[in-house]
Amino acid sequence: MYYPQLMGLNYKLYTGAGPTPKYSLYHVWKTYDTIFKEGPVGRKALSQIVGIGEGSIRTILNKMIAEGFVSVGKNGVNLTDRGIREYLDCGMSVAQVDLGGLTISSQDCAVLVKGMAAHMGNGNEQRDEAVYSGAEGATSFIAKNGKLYYPCSNMCPDDDSVACLKTAFNIRDGDVIIIGTAKKYRLAEQGAVTAALALENQVNLSWVEKNVWESFGPDTEAEALQSIALAVHELTGRLPTTMRSKNCNGVRCEDGLVIDTNYTGPILEEVLESAKITHKVSPSGPYMGVPVVAVPVMKKNKAVAVFGIVDITKGGMFELVSKTHKGRR
């Protein structure tokens, strides 16, 4: 699984097959958080609090209902006992704090992520995710030896400056704290939560667990393709990326996440048959009308899988690929 599961929830249920949703994983988290704190709550009020349209709220709620996480009553929706357990077992806690001069803006939101310190880099990834989501910046700490340290460093802030974090959370060695900051608390929260949700996804970007290439073949299932597809997705600057094997549907990646684990498309299927690189406009599916570059993965002179990169640059990538091919002739 390459979806963030900090909440113990299967996020692909909310961003799976079909058109790209008009909401992010932050909005899914915010929906759970709001219902837990405010429930019962009506759909219109929920839409206003979460910050997305009623149609998107309806989509999320329908999937929550299907999983048995919410119940619907006259006064609105409430989390079920199962939904409450999932929320409370999330491994992630959120609090409004004030870190003063440790952050670059006036409103701070801190997110504690349990047990992820070993997977932290230098904090730049979390900062970038937070800024991309609307925050002005992000500061990260890891907990070790009873103190908070900056990632990849032996430096730590003085105890007084992070006292609010120790008050807000039950911090243990191995935990990560990400603080999003912005002029508006909502943006600080969105940045911090998005960065936290992305942390586990970044862990899974590396090719771990087993040598995927040794077992790679025409029957490779979607789960085994996810780390490879995500790596290619990042290398292309997060252009929409698809991948499937010869005999199994595969994955679709957008915005740094796998959003579909049962994906196929007409161009992917064509390339699996022809075993040739193809550049053409997709005739159907979620990318209908958009140029796609599809490249076969060859093994023993047969196409065992295929990558597809969706050119949302309005032809810029096609032009670059064409120039590269001409230069090789």
**Residue pair 201/4 in contact by the 8 Å Cβ criterion:** yes
Residues 6+ apart with CB under 8 A from 319: none
CA distance 280 to 261: 23
Q: Which residue has the tokens 């839409």?
A: 47
CA distance 242 to 263: 8
Q: Which residue has the tokens 């996810």?
A: 226
Give buried/exposed letters for 296-329 (b at 16+ CB in 10 A, else e).
Answer: bbeeeeebbbbbbbbbeeeeebbeebeeeeeeee
- Does domain 11-88 fall under CATH 3.40.50.10490? My reply is no
**What pLDDT is stored for residue 217 in this prediction?**
83
CA distance 206 to 214: 16
The CB-side HSE value for 169 (13 A sphere, CA atoms) comes to 26
**What pLDDT is stored for residue 205 in this prediction?**
42
pLDDT (tens digit, 9 = 90+) per residue, 151-190?
999 999 999 999 999 999 999 999 999 999 999 999 999 9
pLDDT (tens digit, 9 = 90+) per residue, 197-237?
888 655 544 434 444 455 578 988 888 888 889 989 888 88
CA distance 31 to 57: 8
CA distance 250 to 248: 6
**What pLDDT is stored for residue 311 in this prediction?**
85
**What pLDDT is stored for residue 21 in this prediction?**
73
**Side chain identity, residue 269:** E
**Residue pair 308/277 in contact by the 8 Å Cβ criterion:** no
**What pLDDT is stored for residue 324 in this prediction?**
45
**What pLDDT is stored for residue 202 in this prediction?**
55
Does an H or E element contain 242, and which? strand 241-245
The string of DSSP codes covering 192-230 is HHHHHHHHHHHHTTS--SS-TTTT-STT--HHHHHHHHH
CATH architecture of 222-328: 2-Layer Sandwich (3.30)
For the chain, which residues make up each domain, given as ranges? 11-88, 92-203, 222-328
Give Cα separations from 5 to 9, 78, 207 (angstroms): 6, 21, 18
CATH architecture of 92-203: 2-Layer Sandwich (3.30)
> Please, is 214 exposed, middle or buried when counting C-beta atoms within 10 Å of its C-beta (0-12, 13-18, 19+)?
exposed
**What pLDDT is stored for residue 257 in this prediction?**
86
Spans of the chain, pLDDT less than 70: 1-20, 200-215, 313-329
